Amino acid sequence: MSTISQARSIGLPLMNIVRFKGAPILHQLYLEEQLLRTSSENWCVINDGTNIPTIVMGISGKPSELLEVRSVLQDQVPVVRRFSGGGTVIVDHGTLFVTFICNKNAVPGVQPYPQPIMSWSSTLYNEVFQGIGHFHLRENDYVFGNRKFGGNAQSITKNRWVHHTSFLWDYEARNMAYLKLPMRTPKYRLARDHEEFVCRMKDFLSREAFIDRTLKAVGTQFSVRPIQSEASSVPHDATFQHSTTMLTKQELEAALPSQSETYELQRF
Amino acid sequence: MALRMWASSTANALRVSCAAKSSLSPAFCLSRCFSTVLDGLKYASSHEWVKHEGAVATIGITDHAQDHLGEVVFVELPEPGGSVSKGGSFGAVESVKATSDVNSPISGEIVEVNTKLSEAPGLINSSPYENGWMIKVKPSSPSELESLMGPKEYTKFCEEEDAAH
C-alpha cells in the first residue's frame, strides 16, 4: 500500500473483506448470521454468483403466498428462508452478493435502523456506479433509471447490523416463473411485470469492474483487510443456532393449494 | 405535572388522541424527537418499555422505536413458559426490509404473549404502549427495574441519540 493510502486509512475503522465465488447461498447466509451474532468486527462478504439456482425468502415468507409451489416441487428448486427481512428472490450464478456486517458505531452518523442504513449503503453504491446508468436508490431498491437490479434486506441487533444486497448481474427469465407477484410491491413498480421492472447489471458493467469499484468505495470509508475464507478468523461453528433454514419437501407440500381450492380456481 | 408538548405531525396527533383515552397518562414529548414517552413506565437504552404492575411486567417497544423502524409487517415472539434475560433478545419485528431484535429490559419467566400481533403486527405502530404490547413477564430480579430509565431520562436519551446522528 502506498504511503498516502496508508496515511488515509489511519483512523478509519477496520473492515474485513471475505470473497467467495459460487458459494452456496445457504452457506453464505449461515456465515453472515454467525458473523452478525458472534463477531465484534466489521465484515464485507462478497459472493460472485452462487452455484445452484435457489429461491430465498425473507424471514416471514410464506411459500403459499410467494411461490408457484407446484412448479418449485416438480423442478426440485431449493427454497431457503433467510434470517433477514424483505422479499423473495431467485438467485443463481448470475447473482452477485455484497453484504456489510457492521458495529452500530462503525459508520458515523448512521443510526441502527432500516432507513439510515439503507441511505448509507446508497451513498456507497453511488460511488460504485458513478457515471453509470443513472443509478439511484428508489424506495428500497437499487435501480438504473426506473428498473431494479439490486434488492436489499437487513437484520439489526442491539449493537450490530447486516445489510445485504443481491445484484442481478444476469438472470434467467424462465426462473422468474417460480415466483408469484408479491402482495407488497414498491410504488414505483406500477403495474409492470417482471421483464419490464428489472434489468441486468451486465448491460452496464462487468462483474470484475463492479467488484473492483465496490472494494475501492469501501476503502474510502474503512481500512480494508482481505481475509481468506478458510482463515480461522472466519467462524465455522457447527453448534451455532442458525435462523436461516432450507425448507423441507414436506413444508413445501403443505403449502400446495388444497384439492377444493384448486377446483375453485379451475371453475373460474 | 410535566409540560405536555406534542409533535406537530399528523401521525403523532393520531397517537395523542389514542393515548389521551387510555389509562396511562402521557408525560411529555420533545418536539425534536417527535415521539411519545409515557409516565409510569421504565425504559431501556435499546428502546423497549416495561410496565410493572404487581407480580407481572408488560414489555413492548417504544414509540421512538416503532417510528424509526417503519411499518411493522411481522412479529416473532417466544412461547409462554420460556425465560428472558436482561438485555437478551426475546423476539424480532420485521419492518419492510429489516428484522430487528427486541430485547428484554428485565429477566424473568414469560407468562403471556400478545397473540394478536400475529394477525395485526401493525398494532406495534398504532399503539406501541397499549394494544402493541409484546410479552408479559414475572420478574425474577425486580431490582433490575431500578437501573432502567424513567420517562424524563429516556426522552433526553432519545434527543441525544437523534442529535448525534
Q: Is the pLDDT of residue B2 over 90?
A: no
Q: Give the start-end residues of each E strand in A58-159.
A: 79-81, 89-91, 95-103, 135-138, 141-144, 147-156
From the list A85, A111, A152, the residue facing B165 with the nearest CB is A111
Can you read off the three cell numbers belonging to residue A186?
414498491
ipTM above 0.90, yes or no: no
Collect all residues of chain A within an 8 Å Cβ-Cβ radius of residue B95. Answer: 85, 114
Nearest-Cα residue of chain B relative to residue A61: B74
| Residue A86 in this model has a pLDDT that exceeds 90 | yes
pLDDT score at B21: 37
Residues of B in contact with A118 (CB under 8 A): 97
Which residues face A226 on adjacent strands?
A17
Domains and their CATH numbers in chain A = 14-224 (3.30.930.10)
Alpha carbons A59 and A75: distance in angstroms, whole number: 23
Flag whether pLDDT at A55 surpasses 70: yes
CB B49 within 8 A of CB B42: yes
B interface with A, Cβ–Cβ < 8 A, is 46, 68-70, 73-74, 76, 87, 89, 92, 94-101, 103, 161-162, 164-165
Rounded-to-10 torsion of CA A219, A224, A229, A235: -120
The 10s digit of each residue's pLDDT in A154-207 is 999 999 999 999 999 999 989 989 999 887 888 898 888 888 899 999 999 999
Lowest mean pLDDT among A3-7, A169-173, B93-97, B106-110: A3-7
- Reference A175, options A35, A33, A53; nearest CA is A53
Q: Quick: pLDDT tens for B105-129.
A: 999 999 999 999 999 999 999 999 9
Beta-carbon separation of A140 and B46 below 8 A? no
Mean pLDDT (whole number) for B125-139:
97
Side-chain half-sphere of A121: how many Cα atoms within 13 Å? Answer: 30
Which residue numbers of A have CB closer than 8 Å to B's CBs?
A: 58-60, 83-87, 109-111, 113-118, 140, 152-158, 184
- Percent with pLDDT over 70 in chain B: 79
Structural domains of chain B ordered from first start = 42-164 (2.40.50.100)
For residue B112, list its beta bridge partners.
B136
If residue A21 lies in a helix (H) or strand (E), which one and from where to where? strand A14-22
Q: Which residue has the cell 432500516?
A: A114
pLDDT digits over A20-52, tens only?
Answer: 999 999 999 999 999 999 999 999 999 999 999
Are A60 and B68 a contacting pair at CB < 8 A?
no
Residue from B77, B97, B117 whose CB has the most chain A CBs within 10 Å, to mutate: B97
CA distance B100 to A162: 10
B100 CA to chain A: closest CA distance, Å?
A: 5
Please judge whether A155 and B98 are an interchain contact, meaning their C-beta atoms are less than 8 angstroms apart.
yes
Q: What interhelical angle do A114-128 and A207-219 show, nearest 10?
A: 120
Rounded-to-integer distance, Cα B50 and Cα B40, Å: 9
In the predicted model, is pLDDT for residue B3 greater than 60?
A: no
Among the listed residues B10, B105, B116, the one whose alpha carbon sits nearest the alpha carbon of residue B61: B105
Say if CB A130 and CB A73 are below 8 A apart: no
Burial of B124 (0-12, 13-18, 19+ CB in 10 A): buried
Q: How many CB contacts within 8 angstroms connect chain A with chain B?
A: 73
Of the candidates A19, A59, A79, A28, the one whose C-alpha atom is nearest the C-alpha of residue A156 is A59
CA B130, distance to chain mean position in Å, is 9
What CA–CA distance (Å, rounded) separates A134 from A119? 17
